[in-house]
């Protein structure tokens, strides 16, 4: 049997050193791109992208990253594959492994990426599941580092809203990388207790879940939010709008944070729901750099997964 491929299915799959190395490398790759350095170590490699949910940023930034590194991309919507007609994941994984060098997957259950990884001879990267969004979190942390410096240990990071896939990836990042994280979530919408407990076991800083958004943002350096109804929860959207109304990131809430706080949102944003237009487009918002950084971090992730760093 050959060497096992390097999968990245959740933040906790990587060590602190590996995560910091990816972040450092993405900052370097961004500089290289801005200086127009030609760097194409992925020549001859093919990235597969198997998506079961919509995507603007993750899809296009992975595609651009792979093309800029000199490789090619094959995009697959699930409905076009035999998977849709009942072909098992384990067969799909073994066949795709014969054609491709790496596979990015966006899907529903975490068990789907785990099953694909189990049967793949190529690296499988989670491009979002219902439980985790581990690549997104890297671009978010990278954006914080650009503004606040690389040492995050002295920062207070707040998460406002749903205890969803993004919140859970932030929890694992806080634990692995090492920074304090305060989440404000309504009762019934807290993150998974197992993920929380496991993260706390190894955390060197507090990871707290409270109900009051003001408590979470008090003196915060970084404020994050996300949609109230994630993909797959469309039926709950009306109910969620009511429950989450007190969790809007707006000017009033920001008054409780540090004056130089930054606001992140992985996008897409629903203006006047989880965030106001004023804050999204305001001086604290770093969301456009955050979106750009997805491409740079994806290059670092591809280099790592493919083992192609020059």
Q: Which member of 267, 270, 289, 292 binds ligand CP (CB under 6 A)? A: 267
Per-residue contact flags (x/-) with ligand CP for residues 22 to 61, judged by CB under 6 A: ---------------------------------xxxxx--
- Count, residues near ligand NVA per rule CB under 6 A: 9
Partner touching 226 among ligand CP, ligand NVA, none, CB below 5 to 8 Å by kind: ligand NVA
Of residues 53 and 218, the one with the C-beta less far from ligand NVA: 53
Evaluate whether 294 touches 139 at the Cβ level (below 8 Å).
Answer: yes
Residue 254 region by backbone torsions, left for phi larger than 0, else alpha for psi between -120 and 50, else beta = alpha
Partner touching 50 among ligand NVA, ligand CP, none, CB below 5 to 8 Å by kind: none
Of residues 214 and 231, the one with the C-beta less far from ligand CP: 231
Evaluate whether 155 touches 38 at the Cβ level (below 8 Å).
Answer: no
Query: What does the CA dihedral 279, 285, 291, 297 come to, rounded to 10 degrees?
Result: -150
Of 129-148, binders to ligand CP (CB under 6 A) are 136
Q: Please give the structure tokens belonging to residue 224.
A: 């994050």
Of 209-228, binders to ligand NVA (CB under 6 A) are 226-227
Partner touching 165 among ligand NVA, ligand CP, none, CB below 5 to 8 Å by kind: ligand NVA
Of 238-277, binders to ligand NVA (CB under 6 A) are 266
Of residues 42 and 128, the one with the C-beta less far from ligand NVA: 128
Does residue number 167 form part of the binding site for ligand CP (CB under 6 A)? Answer: no
Q: Which member of 92, 169, 224, 230 binds ligand NVA (CB under 6 A)? A: 230
Partner touching 256 among ligand CP, ligand NVA, none, CB below 5 to 8 Å by kind: none
Of 202-261, binders to ligand CP (CB under 6 A) are none
Partner touching 230 among ligand NVA, ligand CP, none, CB below 5 to 8 Å by kind: ligand NVA
Q: Which member of 166, 199, 203, 223 binds ligand NVA (CB under 6 A)? A: 166
Of the candidate spans 27-35, 65-73, 163-171, 195-203, the one that interacts with ligand NVA by CB under 6 A turns out to be: 163-171
Q: Which member of 61, 165, 169, 276 binds ligand NVA (CB under 6 A)? A: 165
Q: List all residues 6 or more positions away from 98 whose beta carbon is below 8 Å from its beta carbon.
A: none
Binding site for ligand NVA (CB under 6 A): 128, 164-166, 226-227, 230-231, 266
Instruction: Give the footprint of ligand CP on this chain (CB under 6 A).
Output: 55-59, 128, 136, 266-267
């Amino acid at each position: 049997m050959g060497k096992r491929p390097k999968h990245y299915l959740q933040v906790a799959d990587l060590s602190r050193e590996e995560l910091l190395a990816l972040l450092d490398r993405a900052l370097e790759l961004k500089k290289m791109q801005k200086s127009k350095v030609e760097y194409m170590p992925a020549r001859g490699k093919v990235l597969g992208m198997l998506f079961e949910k919509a995507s603007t940023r993750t899809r296009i930034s992975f595609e651009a990253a792979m093309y800029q590194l000199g490789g090619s991309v094959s995009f697959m919507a699930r409905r076009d594959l035999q998977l849709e007609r009942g072909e098992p994941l384990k067969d799909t994984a073994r066949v795709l492994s014969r054609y491709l060098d790496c596979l990015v997957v966006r899907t529903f259950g975490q068990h789907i990426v785990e099953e694909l990884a189990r049967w793949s001879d190529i690296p499988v990267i989670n491009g979002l599941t219902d439980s985790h969004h581990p690549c997104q979190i890297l671009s978010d942390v990278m954006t914080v580092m650009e503004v606040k410096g690389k040492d995050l240990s002295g920062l207070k990071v707040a998460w406002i809203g749903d205890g969803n896939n993004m919140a859970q990836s932030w929890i694992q990042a806080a634990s692995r990388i090492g920074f304090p994280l305060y989440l404000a979530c309504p009762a019934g919408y807290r993150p998974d207790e197992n993920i929380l407990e496991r993260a706390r076991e190894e955390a060197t800083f507090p990871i707290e879940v409270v109900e009051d958004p003001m408590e979470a943002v008090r003196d915060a350096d970084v404020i994050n939010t996300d949609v109230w109804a994630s993909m797959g929860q469309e039926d709950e959207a009306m109910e969620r709008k009511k429950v989450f109304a007190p969790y809007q990131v707006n000017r009033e809430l920001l008054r409780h944070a540090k004056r130089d706080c930054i606001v992140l949102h992985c996008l897409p944003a629903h203006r006047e729901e989880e965030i106001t237009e004023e804050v999204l487009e305001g001086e604290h918002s770093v969301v456009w750099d955050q979106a750009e950084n997805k491409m740079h971090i994806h290059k670092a992730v591809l280099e790592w997964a493919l083992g192609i760093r020059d």
